Amino acid sequence: MARGRADHRSIVVQWAAVIRRRRLAPRRGRTRKIPLPTGIPGRVRAYDPPVWLPALIWTNLMRRRARSLLTAVGVALGVGLIVALLSISAGVQLAVNNVIHLGGADFGLFQGQVTQLTNSLLPDRLVGQVAGNPDVREAAHIKLLVTTVDGKGSQLVFGLDPTEFPERQFVIVKGTRAPGNQVLLGDHAASQMGKGPGSTVTIGHTTLPVTGIFHSGNNFEDSAVVAPLALVQQWAGRPGEVTSIGIIVRPGVASSQVASQLERQYPGLVAITNPGQAIQVDTTSKLLISAGWVFSVVALLVGGIGVTNTMAMSVMERSQEIGVLRAVGWPNRRVAGMIASEAVAICVLALGIGLLLGWVAAQLLVAQGALSQLVTPQFGLDVFAWGLAFSLGVGLLGAAYPVWRAVRVNPIEALRRE
């Protein structure tokens, strides 16, 4: 046994000497004879170019293409879930921000603990009571209805009082304001529908004339139809009730102070001053985000296990190669860097696939929902950053055990294996 180990150690030493001589050989000139270990005669080139590490990593991954690709797809599913979740959440917050600041309001009042903000129901008479608060300058009725317009579902229709501030701030760019049972179209909505003053729109089963096109500067409003408040309440089957109450506070008074005061004065009422608060009121969004984060953690663990399995198998299959690298002088940190880089490369590929999957999933989920006109997924740099962090986290987590295995490879024992 001792003799066998000495022989293998001698072979490793001879190979190491050959590689050192190749490195020291002149870069130009004819090939020359270099003594190789006993029993392996042959000619070698006077100079062998160094191996570029990224090329080595790519070669190692391509040895098992199917396994590497399946691992990347598994991680990509987790990345896609994160991207879809965050983009929809950002879209919801943007929509809520548009609703609570409708018409230039400082904040909005909603019914607490509803499944969706659009399901909020407040009595008309509450508007007058709130307007009587000395710190409130104006209070406005706002009725939001999601219905069919010209046969197209999930369209926004606002019910507003033309004497209150949300409609007063409209800039009429074509036609006139709507007297009686007539409607206004936001300029974005008019462009998409191909409508103008003098045309008609069918809301549900009711056809009404369009008297004007307005612009408010709020994309939410500019993409909607505005009809008389009483008419929208009738279509919704909720006469005498509104979705929200828009509030403008008096100059010099803090909005948050008035909001807290109104919540104490009217229990069950929720004053939303910023989009983040909506998650605490909208139970559907709260459940969606909570479930999404739970699934994301599970995806992180499953993806990490997949990467660990792939890289551990790779280390076992390449134990002789790693042994040679260790024998010729590769330090532990370099071997560890190679294995970790391979895991990260898989996850970078997963990031690209996951971003695409997340974009498709977010668009499909929103399009199939009842609020497709309200929510538009937002794909900002923060969404990309979270996807990148997730994929790199999975790569580093999954590489931990294979790296530990690789740096513990004994060159002599590895070269003894066939």
Number of domains present in the structure of the chain: 3
Least confident of 25-39, 53-67, 163-177, 323-337: 25-39
**Within a domain: residue 258?**
yes
Residues 259 and 127 in one domain: yes
Domain final residue, candidates 250, 272, 294: 272
* Residue 8 burial (CB count, 10 A): 15
pLDDT of 213 > 90? The answer is yes
Confidence (pLDDT) at 249: 93
Are 22 and 57 found together in one domain? no
In a domain, 130, yes or no: yes
Taking 70 as the threshold, does the pLDDT of residue 282 lie above it?
A: no
Q: Do 266 and 302 reside in the same domain of the chain?
A: no
* Per-residue model confidence (pLDDT) at position 184: 92
Average pLDDT over residues 81-86: 84
Residue 77 falls inside a structural domain: yes
Q: Are residues 35 and 160 in the same domain?
A: no
pLDDT tens digits, 29-79: 444 444 444 444 444 444 445 556 677 777 777 777 888 888 888 888 888
Written in H, E and C, the secondary structure of the chain is: CHHHHHHHHHHHHHHHHHHHHHHHCCCCCCCECCCCCCCCCCCECCCCCCCCHHHHHHHHHHCCHHHHHHHHHHHHHHHHHHHHHHHHHHHHHHHHHHHHCHHHCCEEEEECCECCHHHCCEECHHHHHHHCCCCEEEEEEEEEEEEEECCEEEEEEEEECCCCHHHHCCEEEEECCCCCCCEEEEHHHHHHHCCCCCCEEEECCEEEEEEEEEECCCHHHHCCEEEEHHHHHHHHCCCCEECEEEEEECCCCCHHHHHHHHHHHCCCEEEECCHHHHHHHEHHHHHHHHHHHHHHHHHHHHHHHHHHHHHHHHHHHCHHHHHHHHHCCCCHHHHHHHHHHHHHHHHHHHHHHHHHHHHHHHHHHHHHCCCCCCCCCCCCHHHHHHHHHHHHHHHHHHHHHHHHHHHCCCHHHHHHCC
Residue that finishes a domain, picked among 221, 251, 272: 272
Query: Does pLDDT of 283 surpass 70?
Result: no
Confidence tier at 26 by pLDDT (50, 70, 90) = very low
Give the mean pLDDT of 187-199.
89
Lowest average pLDDT, out of 21-30, 212-221, 278-287, 401-410, goes to 21-30
**Average per-residue pLDDT in the chain?**
78
d(CA 346, CA 334): 19
**Does 123 lie in the same domain as 44?**
no
- Is the pLDDT at 198 greater than 50, yes or no? yes
| Cβ 399 vs Cβ 307: under 8 Å | yes
Same domain, 80 and 117: no
Q: Which amino acid is at 241?
A: E
- The answer to whether residue 268 scores a pLDDT higher than 60 is yes
98 within some domain: no
Tokens found for residue 82? 């994160």
Residue 166 is assigned to a structural domain of this protein = yes
- Pair 125, 250 in one domain: yes
- Do residues 199 and 318 both lie within one domain? no
Higher pLDDT, 155 or 251: 251
- The verdict on residue 101 lying in a domain is no
Most confident of 47-51, 208-212, 379-383: 208-212
With cut-offs at 50, 70 and 90, classify the pLDDT of residue 345.
Answer: confident
Residues 168, 170: Cα–Cα separation, whole Å: 6
Structure tokens at 144: 């939001």
Q: Is residue 97 part of a domain?
A: no
Rounded to whole angstroms, the Cα distance separating 227 from 160 reads 7
Question: Which residues, in sequence order, are bridge partners of residue 136?
Answer: 249
pLDDT at residue 208 greater than cutoff 50: yes
Please indicate, yes or no, if residue 280 is contained in any of the structural domains: no
Mean pLDDT of 174-181: 82
- Is the domain of 249 the same as that of 312? no
Share of the chain above pLDDT 70, in %: 80
Together in a domain, 221 and 242: yes
Residues 6-26 have a mean pLDDT of 49
Same domain for 157 and 265, yes or no, is yes
Provide CB contacts within 8 A for 163, sequence distance 6+: none
Lowest mean pLDDT among 94-98, 140-144, 372-376: 372-376
Domain residues for the domain of 75 are 53-91+285-416
Does residue 312 share a domain with residue 239? no
pLDDT of residue 390: 83
Name the most confidently modeled range: 166-170, 291-295, 326-330: 166-170
Confidence at residue 38, expressed as pLDDT on a 0 to 100 scale: 45
